[in-house]
Structure 1
Amino acid sequence: MSYHIVNIDSPNCSINCKHGQLTCLGENGRRQQVPLEDVAAIVITSFSAQLNSHLLLEAAKYGVALVICEYFQPISLLLPANRSTDTLLTKAALTMDKKKVATLWQKTIDAKCVNQASLAEHLNPEHPKREILQKRANSKAPGKESVCARYYWGIYADALAIIGFKRGRQEGGVNDLLNFGYAILLSLILQKLFACGLDPTVGISHEVRERSTPLAYDLMEPFRPCVDWRVARWMMEEAAPDDYQVNGRFRRYITNFTLERVGYLGIEMDFRNCLESVVRSFRQAVLSGQTRQYKPWIPSNSKWAG
């Protein structure tokens, strides 16, 4: 059964397939391998990896997808002929009942709001508006996403002593740090979507625009507080006051949030595996038509301490 998603990110390595084993030889001479029949997809983010043509042939035989990235963004998807013509998953996504689509989105927003409230409590447990945010996050009120966002960003700014903060893509300041972190998160989501066979253009809420990937934006929502927390730690522990530069040191720091350990359904795992598990649960919900299969991430058994 294919279930592994193999990430290749070593700066210089050689990837091959010998005797049914996916083999990666690093520049330090270290060799790692895994049975190719256990691999669902290979995601290559390395900028100088060498691929043996025999690997491409064997990957096609085993039905393994090959995702090639540039700056962590998927730029090429190589699928075996039998997988590229299998439209079962896409058809299921396109024909899903509207009420079920709405339920999937509501579960996503509920998780996002709960995660925001959880981080707000960790950052500023004595804030006068924290309890209001907590109640809103756990309510069934329509339109609660925008209400929770208003309270959440207010608490977030107060915790970091940012005066006059306004969240927005073009607002500058700490927004530049947040936006860079969200870009990293988006690229990871896209990698997992492609690897699991989900079409990122078939979303459940975000609008379809030219060259947009609405499903990636949909499923990343509950994970945004992970980026927010990493940026908050940068501002509190690493950055000088009012230093909002997206420099090399910050890029290295923010990217490491993907290596942190989180809890998911009672199991501790690294962030990338958690993200993959959530994407797989969404895939199962689409295929089965059972929304209960979708399990968005909430940090109920995790620590924001990182």
Structure 2
Amino acid sequence: MSYHIVNIDSPRCSISCKQGQLTCVSEDGRRQQAPLEDVAAIVITSFSAQLHSHLLMEAAKHGVALVICERFQPVSLLLPANRSTDTLLTKAALTLEKKKVATLWRKTIDAKCANQASLAEHLNPNHAKLETLRKRANSKAPGKESTCARYYWGIYADALNLTDFKRSRDAGGANDLLNFGYAILLSLILQKLFACGLDPTLGISHEVRERSTPLAYDLMEPFRPCVDWRVARWITEEAAPDDYRVDGRFRRYVTDFTLERIGYLGIEMDFRNCLESVVRSFRQAVLSGQTRHYKPWTPSNSKWAG
């Protein structure tokens, strides 16, 4: 497949194909082009985009997928008839050895725990429980994810002066802010999975439920602290005391974490490109059957953005 994933997020634009060039013209007349033969997928998050029928036909001929989103959540996936599914990739995912699946999940959790320890140290470097969290994050103990979470959320709450905070989807308060940020992160992961030809229903740990996307839940885990960091800054720098409303101002603020630059494998890039690189590394690991190709993100070679 071609390499580039093109994201189109102009509020209003016209998208077409002329002489083999993917062309996007924004409302202010600004024109951007890219050779369609170099494009693997087009992700459209624009609030109002006009799609020319010629683009749909040319995209199909070149094997290009179109991911159409509403409020950043993928709602439609347009694939060429000969690419309705990536047969080799799907077969590889379905037949991957259980031991290798377990290794992929262990690498994911190791990265998540390391990222939590890193952010906890950044937020509260003198906390009494920080050293314990570090040791747990670096251990190979089974079930360390839940243990690290307990210490991590305690340090997080203390750093932000969150009284009686308990991390839970339905607990309200600061949890509402975190839940919204995670929803944005999930949408971005889904965009990249669809664009790279990975079936999000074929996960490596999360359970399959009706209309669920386990692989997206799996691969977003190491990136959750990026949302936690953005929410922490909102609480300490922007919000009024004890104001946990998910209003328009907060939604605009938290969504901007996707534009921040972070380090990945020694290269500084914006968050969305980092996300894509991780998804591509996972794809390569599944397709080749070699788990060493999968490289989850950790901030060990960078600093927390902002």
Superposition pairs of residues 112-151 of structure 1, within 5 angstroms: 112-151=112-151
Q: Report the CA distance between 1:305 and its aligned residue.
A: 4.0
Report the TM-score when normalising by structure 1.
0.99
The C-alpha deviation readout for 1:76-96, integer Å capped at 9, x for no partner, is: 111111111541111110110
Counterpart of 2:14 in structure 1 is 14
Match of 1:49 in 2: 49
Q: What letter corresponds to residue 132 of structure 1 in structure 2?
A: T
Q: Show structure 1 runs of 4+ deviating over 4 A.
A: none
Q: SS of the counterpart of 2:24? A: strand
Kindly indicate whether residue 37 of structure 2 is the aligned counterpart of residue 37 of structure 1. Answer: yes
1:52-101 Cα deviation digits (max 9, x unpaired):
11101110111100011112111111111111154111111011000000
Q: Secondary structure at the match of 1:49?
A: strand
Pair 248,85 (structure 1): closer, same or farther in 2 beyond 3 Å:
closer
How many angstroms does 1:154 deviate by?
0.2
**What secondary structure is seen at the aligned counterpart in 2 of 1:178?**
helix
Instruction: State the one-letter code of the partner of 1:202.
Output: L
Residue 169 of structure 2 is aligned to residue 169 of structure 1 = yes
C-alpha separation in 1, matches of 2:270 and 2:85: 33
User: How far apart, in 2, do the equivalents of 1:239 and 1:164 lie?
Assistant: 19
Are 1:97 and 2:97 an aligned pair? yes
In 2: Cα distance, 1:193 partner to 1:233 partner: 29
Q: How does 1:208-227 map to 2 (within 5 A)?
A: 208-227=208-227
Moved more, 63-72 or 282-291: 63-72
| SS of corresponding position for 1:127 | coil
Q: Aligned AA for 1:58? A: E
Alpha-carbon distance in 2 for matches of 1:63, 1:52: 17
Task: For 1:88 and 1:292, locate their aligned partners in 2 and report how far apart those are by CA, in whole Å.
Answer: 19
Cα distance in structure 2, aligned partners of 1:85 and 1:238 = 45
The Cα shift of 1:47 comes to: 2.1
Gaps of 5+ in 2: none
Residues 1:283 and 2:270 aligned together: no
Aligned equivalents of 1:72, 1:26: Cα separation in 2: 18
- Counterpart in 2 of 1:228? 228
What's the C-alpha RMSD, in Å, of the aligned pairs? Answer: 0.8
- Gap runs ≥5 in structure 1: none
- Which amino acid in structure 1 is aligned with residue 256 of structure 2? N
* Alignment CA distance shift 1:139-1:273 (3 Å): same
Equivalent position SS for 1:256: helix
Percent identity, aligned pairs only, is: 87
Q: TM-score, normalised by structure 2?
A: 0.99
Q: Which residue matches 1:156? A: 156
Corresponding residue number in structure 1 for 2:207: 207
How many residues are matched?
306
2:88 paired residue number? 88
Change (3 A) 1:188 1:85: closer
* 261-270 vs 46-55, greater mean Cα deviation: 46-55
Deviation of residue 113 (structure 1)? 0.0
One-letter amino acid of the counterpart of residue 212, structure 2:
S
